[in-house]
Amino acid sequence: MSARRIALVTTGGTIEKTYDERSGELVNRRSIVQRMLEELRFEETSIQVLDLMSKDSLDLVEEDRAQIAAMVRSLGVETLGRGPTGVVILHGTDTLEETGERLYREIPSTTVPIVLTGAMRPFEMKQSDALQNLTEAIFATGVLPAGVWCVAHGRALRFPGVKKDRELGTFVGGA
């Protein structure tokens, strides 16, 4: 049996955008996280991928955020030992902070780390930060205390107070 059980919830965002040859645009069509996971090696870790939605975070509405919170809550994160040992949420970076704040407010008694991550450049592009951030987020579920976190670019920031700094191209702040 795996020592760590991670639920990985996909919502879309830049991290999972793919190039549409017909339109010439980067779009969210379906989750590509399995392709990313195939490039990684994790010992004593099982990862359950839960495809929730494939949306650019700028297109998310409050009902979508409610759906994300409901999915996370349904995993049993408020009861120690019942659900996964950690949750990773792939999310677009433009509104990741809004979803993180909602999770922080609505699931204050989580017993596991809930980690949001995304990418500034899609996985399919050169010099993407997608694989790095996914790897860090999965690793972080095993070392961070319970709470809601943003993990990206070598840092773990705890909600509340996380913000995207567009000039720096990363996240700042946190509790």
Quickly state the pLDDT bin for 121 (edges 50, 70, 90).
confident
**pLDDT for 148:** 98
Percent of the chain whose pLDDT exceeds 90 = 64
- The pLDDT tens digits for 9-36 are 999 876 655 555 666 665 556 666 787 7
Interatomic CA distance for residues 168 and 129, integer angstroms: 14
* Residue-wise burial string across 117-129, b where 16 or more C-beta atoms lie within 10 A, e elsewhere: bbbbbbbeeeebb
- The pLDDT tens digits for 72-112 are 999 999 988 888 999 999 999 999 999 999 999 999 999 99
How many helices (H) and strands (E) in the chain? 4, 10
The residue from 14, 85, 93, 95 that is catalytic is 14
Domains of the chain, CATH where assigned:
4-173 (3.40.50.1170)
Report whether the peptide linkage leading into residue 113 is cis, meaning its omega lies within 30 degrees of zero.
no
Question: Is this prediction's pTM over 0.85?
Answer: yes
117 given a catalytic annotation: no
Interatomic CA distance for residues 147 and 107, integer angstroms: 9
